[in-house]
């Protein structure tokens, strides 16, 4: 009887455990960092002067194709495959640098909307 109870408990607990673990994977973005509805995350004016103020690894805004992105959480996480090269674009128009890297057509392109602040004024 005890063996049957152990088997029943295992069959009940194992699927719940797997379900829980599936939702806990290591993701690059957290919900607080993920801006999938593309609403601005700042009240600051999106001007070139404001962009220039955000020029460090922990406060990194970049202008890419006329759009300003707050990449601070990404640059702070040190997940960029190119290492610190991404920091060269902080606080400025990084369009040419971004386009020069062919790898930006895939995963990076898909990630950008999550960091969008809006169009430069």
Express each pLDDT in 16-68 by its tens digit: 444 444 444 434 433 334 444 444 567 778 999 999 999 999 999 999 999 99
Which segments of 35-94 does DSSP mark as H helices, in order?
48-53, 72-77
Q: Which CATH architecture has domain 29-119?
A: Roll (3.10)
Q: Which helix (DSSP H) or strand (DSSP E) does residue 100 occupy?
A: helix 95-100
Check whether 121 has a pLDDT greater than 50.
Answer: yes
Residues 75 and 57 sit within 8 Å (Cβ to Cβ): yes
Contacts of 41 (CB under 8 A, 6+ apart): 35, 70, 117
Burial class of 97 by CB neighbour count within 10 A (0 to 12, 13 to 18, 19+): middle
Express each pLDDT in 102-114 by its tens digit: 778 788 899 999 9
């Amino acid at each position: 009887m005890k063996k049957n109870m152990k088997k029943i408990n295992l069959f009940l607990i194992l699927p719940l455990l797997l379900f829980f673990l599936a939702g806990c994977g290591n993701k690059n973005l957290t919900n607080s960092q993920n801006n999938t509805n593309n609403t601005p995350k700042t009240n600051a004016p999106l001007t070139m002067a404001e962009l220039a103020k955000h020029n460090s690894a922990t406060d990194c805004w970049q202008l890419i194709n006329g759009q300003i992105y707050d990449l601070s959480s990404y640059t702070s996480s040190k997940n960029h495959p190119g290492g610190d090269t991404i920091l060269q674009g902080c606080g400025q128009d990084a369009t040419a640098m971004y386009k020069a890297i062919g790898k930006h057509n895939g995963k990076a392109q898909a990630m950008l909307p999550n960091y969008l602040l809006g169009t430069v004024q």
